[in-house]
């Protein structure tokens, strides 16, 4: 876990955060646990893209290519940012969302802190390799290369949490402590 001394830009507590990181890093699971603890909404960018498009991520990649997917993803992200301004929320972003320069700019402008869930690439691959619905997880070599090219961009997040060997409850606790968030309830 790495800590930035002045994560909070003002005395106002955070009312939203986004979870970022590579495929298999546990963004959705941690987001669900953390949002329940905080009593905040949980928003899932991939699920929002699918709902807006009326098709699965795999189908969107097949029919519109990655470019079409990124366009749909940006529009859904704008929707999520608007919702996070209106009501406290934890949002889980898809693995490629945070590394698109325009998305990073939108998120930085929103003031919503990004939390990078980090883990060794071998562990991420183990979690993803048997899942058929991931268009960008073809084989270990391709997965490793993509991870290597993206990792410096995930490091632009306000906070990095090392997740290796930890369960979602522990990770959620660490994020809440680092961002000084008050948990409405504790479930264990
Ligand atoms: C992607 C990750 C996926 C999904 C899409 C593209 C990526 O989300 O958005 O398949 O570019 O890494 P998860 O990280 O939730 O698997």
Tell whether ligand 1 has an atom less than 6 A from the beta carbon of residue 150: no
Domain ranges of the chain: 14-174
Tell whether ligand 1 has an atom less than 6 A from the beta carbon of residue 50: no
CA distance 66 to 68: 5
Give the angle 62-91-14 at the CA atoms, nearest 5°: 155
Of the options 3.40.50.300, 3.20.10.10, 2.60.40.10, 3.30.750.24, the CATH number for the domain spanning 14-174: 3.40.50.300
Whole-Å CA distances, 23 to 121, 126, 137: 10, 11, 8
CA distance 106 to 188: 35
pLDDT digits 0-9 by tens, 25-83: 999 999 999 999 999 999 999 999 999 999 999 999 999 999 999 999 999 999 999 99
Q: Assess whether pLDDT exceeds 80 at residue 10.
A: no
Cross-strand pairs, 16: 89
Q: Using the atom order of ligand 1, give the atom closest to the CA of residue 58.
A: 10
Q: Assess whether pLDDT exceeds 90 at residue 12.
A: no
pLDDT digits 0-9 by tens, 112-122: 999 999 999 99
Tell whether ligand 1 has an atom less than 6 A from the beta carbon of residue 134: yes
Q: Is 152 helix (H, G, I), strand (E, B) or coil?
A: helix
Q: How far is the CA of 90 from the centre of ligand 1 (A)?
A: 17
pLDDT at 8: 63
Q: Using the atom order of ligand 1, give the atom closest to the CA of residue 135.
A: 10
Q: Is-contact 103 147, C-beta < 8 A?
A: no
């Amino acid at each position: 876990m790495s800590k930035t001394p002045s994560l909070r830009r003002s005395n106002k507590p955070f009312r939203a955060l986004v979870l970022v990181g590579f495929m298999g890093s546990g963004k959705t699971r941690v987001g669900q646990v953390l949002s329940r603890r905080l009593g905040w909404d949980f928003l899932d960018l991939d699920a929002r893209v699918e709902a807006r498009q009326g098709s699965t991520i795999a189908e969107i990649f097949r029919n519109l290519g990655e470019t079409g997917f990124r366009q749909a993803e940006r529009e859904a992200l704008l929707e999520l940012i608007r919702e996070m301004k209106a009501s406290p929320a934890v949002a889980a972003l898809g693995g490629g969302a945070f590394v698109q320069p325009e998305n990073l700019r939108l998120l930085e402008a929103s003031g919503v802190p990004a939390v990078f869930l980090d883990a060794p690439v071998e562990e991420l691959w183990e979690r993803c390799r048997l899942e058929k619905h991931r268009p960008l997880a073809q084989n270990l070599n391709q997965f490793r290369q993509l991870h290597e090219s993206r990792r410096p961009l995930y490091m632009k997040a306000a906070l990095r949490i090392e997740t290796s060997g930890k369960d979602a409850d522990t990770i959620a606790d660490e994020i809440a402590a680092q961002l000084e968030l008050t948990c409405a309830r504790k479930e264990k």
